Amino acid sequence: MKYAKGITISITALLSLLFITTSWADEKLAVDKVEGPLSVMILGSGGPIATSIGRASAGYLIFVEGEPRILMDVGGGTYQRLAKSGVNIRNLDIVLLSHLHIDHTADLSAVIKTLYFHNNLAGTARTAPIHIYGPAANGATFPGSDVTQYPATTVYSDGQYAMPNGVERYLNIFAKAISGGRSSFSYVAHDLNSMVSGATVEEVLRSDDGLVIEAIAVDHGPVPAVAYRVSYKGYSIVYSGDTKSTGPNMVAIAQDADLLIYDTAITDTLPPNPVFHALHTSPTRMGEVAGDAEVKKLVLSHITPVTETRLDQVKDLVRVNFDGKIKAAKDLKVFNLGDDHD
């Protein structure tokens, strides 16, 4: 009886495991929704505040011909979203940082480390460098001090990974250790212009297969910041990062874009603290930019507690000046360019 009961329990456990495994297999992963020449997966649609809604901080993964090539920002929680997406990033080439606030950079090292694990799991080796792009320093100092508030992206990256003093310098031996010496950790950091005044759209990269990345400095108060445009086979994705959107720079880089992902942290009047309005874009200004640039689809992202419950109000204010499609971002949502059903 005891033996038979034991067998029954084992079979029940096995059936439960089989059911769970089947359920996971039947669930469509975010990666399975990627198709076409150029796509973006939202890894994080939230801001810097942890809330029960559960949005990860800013992060976007761009696919070229179905392959993950570019990571735009990598805030807290994006590592978990990446894991849940089912994407293998062993061939990821490029990291684009809009600025060096924690809610845009916090998971960078975790994602870089998993890149080498993904190679290990796939039985491949990685020796190509990871290219990390971001703003140069702009010289803004702490009030009453000559200490600059933000480093250049090269200084930031070296502080994380460079030998002999980088905080995460162990990655230089880790990559070799887990691969039996076949992989090696390597990165190249690049500083982009962060001076907003007089800035023009600059080409960051043009690959042999036709992928083009462009950037322009944008106004985020004292914070060095850039917006990005990724183009491929006639399609384009623009990402504002965090910006107040003063001047012509956002319109210049977003001109005729298929998809514009925009900072949606505030309303026209909320929060009452003026600091936030000096750093982020109001819905009315967002609509002006999207309308003047004649973008096809606007994605509201970097959603905060201020805008989370007011997205309909935000959309109404945007529509005063923009008559294109408007979507609110969700973590793990995939936008395939050329797909009009999003």
Tokens at 245, concatenated:
């959107």
Q: Check pLDDT > 60 for residue 21.
A: no
Please check the confidence at residue 341 and state whether its pLDDT lies above 80. no
For residues 74-85, average pLDDT? 98
243: left (phi over 0), alpha (psi -120 to 50) or beta: beta
Instruction: Say which residues have a Cβ less than 8 Å from residue 310's Cβ, sequence separation at least 6.
Output: 267, 270
- Under the banding of pLDDT at 50, 70 and 90, the label for residue 19 is very low
pLDDT for position 20: 40
Average pLDDT over residues 234-248: 98
pLDDT higher than 80, residue 169: yes
Would you state the pLDDT for residue 342?
Answer: 52
Residues facing 235 on adjacent strands: 232
Q: Is 60 helix (H, G, I), strand (E, B) or coil?
A: strand
Q: Which two tokens stand for residue 204?
A: 């960051």
Determine the average pLDDT of the residues in 79-92. 98
Mean pLDDT of 74-99: 98
pLDDT of residue 215: 98
- Segment among 16-30, 79-93, 228-242, 256-270 with least mean pLDDT: 16-30
- What 8-state DSSP symbol labels residue 46? B
Question: For residue 249, is pLDDT > 80?
Answer: yes
The pair of structure tokens assigned to 13 is 């456990």
Give the mean pLDDT of 173-194.
97
Q: Which of 100, 42, 108, 110 lies closest to 74 in space, CA to CA?
A: 108
**The pLDDT of residue 48:** 96
Share of the chain above pLDDT 90, in %: 90
What digits encode the pLDDT tens for the residues 127-150? 999 999 999 999 999 999 999 999
- Give residue 198's pLDDT: 93
- For residue 102, the tally of other CB atoms under 10 A from its CB is 11
* Averaged pLDDT of the chain: 93
Handedness of CA 245, 246, 249, 255 (dihedral sign): positive
